[in-house]
Amino acid sequence: MNKKIAVALTFISMLAGNAEKANASNTGKQESDALPTVYFTKEISPESLVEIFKAVGVEPNGNVAVKISTGEGGNTHYLKPDLIGKLVKKVDGTIVECCTAYGGTRQDPAKHWETIRDHGFDKIAKVDLMDEFGQMQIPVSDTTHIKYDIVGDHLADYDFMINLAHFKGHAMGGFGGVLKNSSIGVASTAGKAYIHTAGRTDDASKMWGNINEIPQDHFLESMAAAAQGVHNYMNSKDAVGKPRIVYINVLNNLSVDCDCDGHPAAPELKDMGIAASLDPVALDQACIDMVFNHASTEGDNSAPLIERINSRHGTHILPYAAQIGLGSTKYTLKNVD
C-alpha cells in the first residue's frame, strides 16, 4: 500500500477515538485542567531559539518538518537562515513550505525554488515544497465552512513538526502567527483558495472573484478549522498521545504586512522576543496580548499593528479556535530568561 494512503487511512481510523485526547493532552493541558504554558524570552538569537524549543520539553523523533515562510521575493522581514539554522540542524529537520495562491514569486514551484535559493534556505538544510508533486485531503473536526483541509501530500512523510512562525501583521487575516502558519501555510495552492473562500472553491484562479463575497469571520473560522486539522493530523501519529507538533512565534520585524508581501511596510514596533507552546491558540493569544498591552513610545509604536489587526477583526480566530477545541485563550506565561 502507498505510504501516504496508509498514513491517511490510519489517521482517519484513529481520529474518532483520539481527537479528544489530541486536543487536550497535546495542547499543553493536564488532566487537572491546568492552563497551557507559553514560554517566552526577550532574546532573539539562534541560541535562544534552541533554548525556548528545549523549554517546551518535547523531544522530536523521526522525520522532522520545520514549517516556515520562505518569504516573498523582495521581502526582507522573513525569518532568516542565520537565525533559524541552529535549531533546524539540532533537530535534523527539513524546512517545509507550500506554494502560494496569489501569483508572485512562490505560486509556481520553479519560481518558489528560486526564492528559496535567493533567501539562502537551501544552504542550511534540506528543503521540501510539500505540494510540489501533489496534494491530499485530511479531515477537519469543524466542518462549518470547510469539509476537509487540502495540504501538500509530503506532509505524510513527516513524524514531527516544528511550526516556526514569524508573528506580524497580515493584509487579510489581521495578523499571522502559528495558526496561520498551520492553516494557510501547510495548505497547497488549492487548499489556500479553499480556506480563503471558506469552502466555496479550491480553484486558485477563481479565488479572488469569491473572496469579496465571503464574510471575514468565515475566512478566519476556516483558518482555525484547517489549523486544527493539521494539529490533529500530526498528533495522531503517536498512539500514546505524545505531542508531535511544537509551536514557536518569533516577534521581530513587526510590520503590519506579512512575509507574503514583497514590499512590506517598515516596522514601527520594536522586536519583542520569542514565544513557544504546545497550544497554538494560547501562543497566538499571548503574542496578541503582548502587542495590545505594549506601552508605546516614540519609535516603538504598537498602534499601527493593532489597527491592522482590529480592522480585519483578526482576533476573532482565537476564541473561535478555542470554541472548536483547538486550544485555550487562557494561559500561563513563563519567562525563561
**Model confidence over 46-74: pLDDT tens digits?**
999 999 999 999 999 999 999 999 998 98
Q: Looking at residue 102, what is its pLDDT?
A: 86
Q: How far apart are CA 137 and CA 199, in angstroms?
A: 13
Domain-by-domain residue ranges, the chain? 3-335
Q: Residue 286 is placed in which grid cell?
A: 499571548
Q: What angle do CA 48, 289, 97 make, to 5 degrees?
A: 55
Can you tell me the distance from the alpha carbon of 328 to that of 285, in angstroms, rounded to the nearest whole number? 9
Cell numbers placing 39? 514560554
Number of C-beta neighbours around residue 29 at 10 A: 19
Cβ atoms within 10 A of the Cβ of 218, count?
A: 16
Q: What is the mean pLDDT of residues 33-50?
A: 96
Q: What is the pLDDT of residue 75?
A: 85
**pLDDT over 70 at 303, yes or no:** yes
**pLDDT single digits (tens) 240-272:** 889 999 999 999 999 999 878 777 899 999 999
Query: Which pTM value belongs to this model?
Result: 0.90
Specify the range with the lowest mean pLDDT, choosing from 23-37, 51-65, 122-136, 208-222: 23-37
Residue 32 has pLDDT above 50, yes or no: no
d(CA 293, CA 151): 35
Integer Cα distance of 203 and 182 in angstroms: 20
pLDDT at residue 264 in the model: 86
Give residue 289's pLDDT: 98
Dihedral, CA atoms, 105, 109, 69, 152, nearest 10 degrees?
150
Q: What mean pLDDT is reported for the chain?
A: 91
pLDDT single digits (tens) 143-193: 999 999 999 999 999 999 999 999 999 999 999 999 999 999 999 999 999
pLDDT of amino acid 14: 40
